[in-house]
Structure 1
Amino acid sequence: MRDAIVVRGGWDGHVPVQATELFIPFLRDRGFAVEVHSDLDVYTDAARLAAADLVVQCWSIGTITDAQADGLAEAVRAGTGFAGWHGGIVGAFHHTTYHQLTGGVFVHHPPGFVHHELTVAPDRADHPVVAGIGPVRLHTEKYWVLTDPLNDVLATVTFDTEPADGAGAASGTPWRRAVTFPAVWTRNWGAGRVFVSTVGHKLDDFDVPEVRAITERGLLWAAR
């Protein structure tokens, strides 16, 4: 039996308890013993992290100490997998070591929920996390992120330009052309694997079969 740690908390707007409960039964069905933590202290428990094959984090708008960030990063470097979605992983903490681990950080999203498309990168269409998944129609937050070029980008979203209104008001998107951002990526951190998806602000995002599949596959891919 493999071992997974779920770390959840922070801002309630990302419903960390309810969101992680969607995936705990899946992990158990795949042979993981699952232990849940509602604080970050486990990140300083080197022996516990070393025994884990996977850490799933859903913790938004929080503060992580140097000791906690270093402990998590070192565990992943040694082989423990790390995975999460949306603000629970890229909107979690402002900390350099943590950002280096995840390979990205949330910066902005347009107000409210917007219709947009998640597009699998053509050169990654055979990756086990996104294999067989075509364009995915979404109505949720669209994340503007800063990311590490060393990420293996599996899927993207595009921010289109918007014309000025009839009164000549400035566009709501100041870019002079459409810009495309990573939305799903994987990366290696030492011997460990990291999976990130920016989709998952609300529970019904995971009712979209492709989103659910990408997330579940990503958890399994990241696990030792």
Structure 2
Amino acid sequence: MRAVVLSGGLTHDFPATTACLVELLAEQGVEADVHTGVDAALHALPGAALLVVNALRWTMTGPGTPDRYRRLAGEEGASPSASARAGLAAHLEAGGGVLGLHTASICFDDWPQWGRTLGGAWVWGHSHHPPIGPAIEAAPAAGHELVDGLDPFTVVDEVYGDLDLAPGIVPLLTARQPTGPDTETTHPLLWAREHGGGRVVYDALGHHPPSYEVPEHREIVRRAIRWTTRG
């Protein structure tokens, strides 16, 4: 079984976190086909069971994008071609799975279908996360095989807040984020859904390798690989 892995981008150690994912894929008997080019990855999908997006690739020119990224758009910005976008649709229609990690929700800001597939999208100027720091407590829900039987656990990672969520998203893992001296809000970190004929999981954790060293998070990723590839 083969998974196409899109890796790479700014501000994160994607080679290191992708190595963690390649290891977890191998544990499930899935061979990783790693690409750093957006079109190369999406054109490699025929015959693959799974697309894994562990990358930060977007135009860097959309509304609200900070100037520090806009200045790099010419060399770092990315937008999938029409044929690459069609490749994702064909992958899903064939029953292929999608597993998006962490910054996958920021990717492809000029491709609305990507956000609809993943189930959520980052909106510059609205979505946010605090600086990575003390461990957060991640609380599993119940009623889905990705999290059934797991206890709450702590992990040093970022809590993405106020993503633009698709209707009907059911959080399977949540964490609280302070919003003031005496207030906090709860944000979804994980969900699973079916879309376009395939199964899709988004896991907002995975900022750095220590996140993948937490046993409960490793188990969630293992289960996500099995669920998106239908075992």
Structure 1 length-normalised TM: 0.82
3-state secondary structure, aligned to 2:45: helix
One of 100, 105, 113 as aligned partner of 2:133: 113
3-state secondary structure, aligned to 2:46: helix
Name the structure with the higher strand share.
1
Describe the shift of the 1:73–1:151 C-alpha distance in structure 2 as closer, same or farther (beyond 3 A): farther
The aligned amino acid for 1:213 is E
1:77 and 2:84 equivalent? no
3-state secondary structure, aligned to 2:171: strand
Structure 2's unaligned 5+ residue stretches are 59-77
Which structure has the larger Rg over C-alpha atoms? Answer: 1
The 2-side partners of 1:29 and 1:206 are apart by 14
The aligned amino acid for 1:194 is V
8 Å CA contact retained: 2:89, 2:196:
no
Q: CA deviation at 1:202?
A: 1.2
Give % identity: 31
Q: Deviations over 1:83-120 (max 9, x none)?
A: 02111x11222121111111112321013324422111
Within a 5 Å distance, the mapping from 1:186-197 to structure 2 comes to 186-197=192-203
Q: CA deviation at 1:44?
A: 5.1
8 Å CA contact retained: 1:6, 1:57:
yes
Corresponding residue number in structure 2 for 1:146: 164
The 2-side partners of 1:97 and 1:182 are apart by 21
Q: Deviations over 1:155-180 (max 9, x none)?
A: 1122244238xxxxxxxxxxxx5422
3-state secondary structure, aligned to 1:186: strand
How many residue pairs match? The answer is 204
Describe the shift of the 1:53–1:44 C-alpha distance in structure 2 as closer, same or farther (beyond 3 A): closer
Describe the shift of the 1:98–1:163 C-alpha distance in structure 2 as closer, same or farther (beyond 3 A): same
Structure 1's unaligned 5+ residue stretches are 165-176
CA RMSD of superposed structures (Å): 2.1
Q: Which moved more, 1:53-62 or 1:109-118?
A: 109-118
Structure 1 consecutive aligned stretches of length 4 or more whose deviation exceeds 3 Å: none
Corresponding residue number in structure 2 for 1:17: 15
One of 193, 208, 211 as aligned partner of 1:202: 208
8 Å CA contact retained: 1:49, 1:72:
yes
